[in-house]
Amino acid sequence: MKCYDVIVVGGGPVGLWAACESKLAGLDVAVLERRRQRVEQSRALTIHGRTIELFAMRGIDDRFLAEGKPIPTGHYAGLETRLDFSCFDTRFPFTLYLPQSRTEELIEDHARDLRVEILRGHRVNDLSGNAEAGYELTAEHEQGASTFSARAVIGADARRSIVRQKAGILFEGHDATLSIMMGDVRIKGLEGPPLLMVTNERGGVTIAPVSADGTVRVIVIDPERKHVPVDEPLSLEELAAAARRILGQELQLSEPSWLTRFGDETRLASHYRHGNLFVAGDAAHLHFPAGGQGMNVGLQDAMNLGWKLASVLKGDAPDVLLDSYETERKPIGAQLARNTQAQGALMTRFDPGHLALRSEMSELLRIPEVNRCLAGVLSGFDLRYPSSDLFGSGDGAGERIPDRSLTLMDGTSTSIHSLLCGGKWLHLSNQSDAPVPLPHWLRSDTVLAGDVKHAENDAENRQVGAMLIRPDGYVARKVMQDSEIRRGQQPLPRNCTGM
């Protein structure tokens, strides 16, 4: 029997990232994935800006930026007025257009760099145990079956998650009420990178590029065919006929690489944790795929969980830290369900009332505050976790930390995201006599700390005396310059020197 600290069930982007975060924090990790090969279909095409920040905090953003196409705007329900990301304080005010197949491959490269053990062709069919004694998993593969043990198990195994089922976690919500046609195809005579969204009384058609070789994605919402079962095979002829009827013109579709239907099934796990069993990504939340959010939210689930799980398993934090995974991430899953249901209602109904509602919503998006609100939700830039006694309260608690170029007191040039690449807590101080008090359970020798001589936007940042940043890039607590917390604090080790 092979023994690990953590076993991740499911080797898609979310499962791989959960394994990377656990391994980076010093755990022995394995991924069990039922597929023998990576997924070939493009599936998700969007990496949101906050997810690129996530990659930047681990030093691999350049891998994605080198291949993806930045798009400065996004869409809400395919409305004419686009979402504007330029208002956010970020180095990545855009979405990155990159097929999920390539995103998964790049994350797997990162996992292999970290020496994560990835076992493909392993279908987990049994799971038993508890947090005290550990867990035992059985996986079938070509050579028969193998048994594994782990102190904790992360289920990133999608809709039918065996981890969620064995944990007794309910998957609450509703079945699909409609189906939508989708095909990755070529269109004869189409020149240049297409991007087309048409909605009228006959239905809706979206055409978007998938790859540089001319493959495009055609999504058709046909009122006459939207109640066809999701699992009924889709033909190229049906897709072409529906697109022609809605657009009023012929599309010569050919060379399909993927034809499928998808629906609006929406579900949310009743809990994200049971003992040391956890769910993330599609195993925790399922929704209508509007706005390219699912993979991104799942990756951020994994980012939130990995360092917490490692801290507890290594004895560096109390077990209650793991409860904060559900406390912080389940509301995001609920919000995801709400906004995709709302978008689904706007995108899939074509009566005069809903077409008028689309027009009104598009006008409302011209109001900067409204646009920012929805853009902040979809991108993840506006996410703020609730303050907690576990981490701290007061100024800045739970807010996302934007990246900043820094010059440390020893003259080293760096940035906040660069200092987070090791997956450690980070304490930055503009004045050495004003450290942020650490949570009572957090050891100072596990915190990277340093004094800042100069920072980008220095006038703004000089209002902050010091701040403590979590490994996932959210502020635990800030001490402002006018704070009464000054002298008498035990200074943290200045271990950023020479980085």
pLDDT in tens, 309-350: 999 999 999 999 999 999 999 999 999 999 999 999 999 999
- Is pLDDT above 60 for 490? no
Range with top average pLDDT, 234-238, 458-462, 490-494: 234-238
Picking from 81, 48, 56, the residue whose alpha carbon sits closest to that of residue 336 is: 48
Written as six digits, the tokens of 262 are 């998808």
pLDDT of residue 494: 47
- Is pLDDT above 90 for 161? yes
Give the model's confidence band at 123: pLDDT under 50 very low, under 70 low, under 90 confident, else very high.
very high
pLDDT of residue 158: 94
- Is pLDDT above 50 for 47? yes
DSSP classification of residue 218: E
CA distance 499 to 287: 43
pLDDT of residue 433: 62
When pLDDT is averaged across residues 259-281 and rounded to a whole number, the result is 97
Written as six digits, the tokens of 285 are 């939340």
- Tell me where in the chain the CATH 3.30.70.2450 domain(s) lie: 179-263
- Is pLDDT above 90 for 396? no
Q: How far, rounded to the nearest angstrom, does the alpha carbon of residue 444 sit from its chain's CA centroid? A: 30
pLDDT of residue 393: 77
Task: Judge contact between 20 and 47, C-beta under 8 A.
Answer: no
- Is pLDDT above 90 for 357? yes
Strand-pairing partners, residue 196, are 207
pLDDT of residue 497: 36
When pLDDT is averaged across residues 21-44 and rounded to a whole number, the result is 91
CA distance 7 to 277: 10
Choice between 488 and 448, residue whose per-residue pLDDT is larger:
448
- Is pLDDT above 80 for 272? yes
Contacts of 425 (CB under 8 A, 6+ apart): 442, 446, 447, 448, 468, 469, 470, 471, 476
CATH class of 2-174+266-379: alpha beta
pLDDT of residue 191: 57
pLDDT of residue 457: 74
pLDDT of residue 485: 44
Task: Judge contact between 21 and 300, C-beta under 8 A.
Answer: no
When pLDDT is averaged across residues 88-101 and rounded to a whole number, the result is 95
Choosing among 3.30.565.10, 3.40.50.970, 3.40.30.120, 1.10.240.10, the CATH entry for 385-499 is 3.40.30.120
| The residue type at 163 | V
pLDDT in tens, 278-320: 999 999 999 999 988 999 999 999 999 999 999 999 999 999 9
For the entire predicted model, the pTM comes to 0.93
Q: Name all contacts of 314-323 with Cβ < 8 Å and 24+ positions apart.
A: 314/25, 314/26, 314/27, 316/441, 316/442, 316/443, 316/446, 317/441, 317/442, 318/441, 320/390, 321/390, 321/441, 322/273, 322/276, 322/278, 323/273
Sheet holding 413-415, edge to edge: 413-415, 405-408, 447-455, 425-429, 464-469, 475-480
When pLDDT is averaged across residues 145-159 and rounded to a whole number, the result is 97
CA distance 150 to 147: 10
- Tell me where in the chain the CATH 3.40.30.120 domain(s) lie: 385-499
Residue 346, burial from CB neighbour count under 10 angstroms (0-12, 13-18, 19+) = buried
When pLDDT is averaged across residues 166-189 and rounded to a whole number, the result is 95
pLDDT in tens, 185-244: 999 876 555 568 899 999 999 998 888 788 899 999 999 999 999 999 999 999 999 999
pLDDT of residue 458: 62
Q: Where are the beta strands (DSSP E) in 142-178?
A: 144-155, 171-174
Written as six digits, the tokens of 265 are 């099934």
Alpha helices in 40-197 (DSSP H): 49-56, 61-65, 100-113, 162-166
Strand-pairing partners, residue 179, are 263
Choice between 297 and 461, residue whose per-residue pLDDT is larger:
297
Q: What is the dihedral of CA 452, 453, 456, 461, to 10 degrees?
A: 60
CA distance 349 to 354: 6
pLDDT of residue 220: 97
pLDDT of residue 499: 32
What number does CATH give the domain 179-263? Answer: 3.30.70.2450
- Is pLDDT above 80 for 493? no
pLDDT of residue 196: 82
- Is pLDDT above 90 for 30? yes
CA distance 425 to 92: 23
pLDDT of residue 486: 43
SS3 261: strand
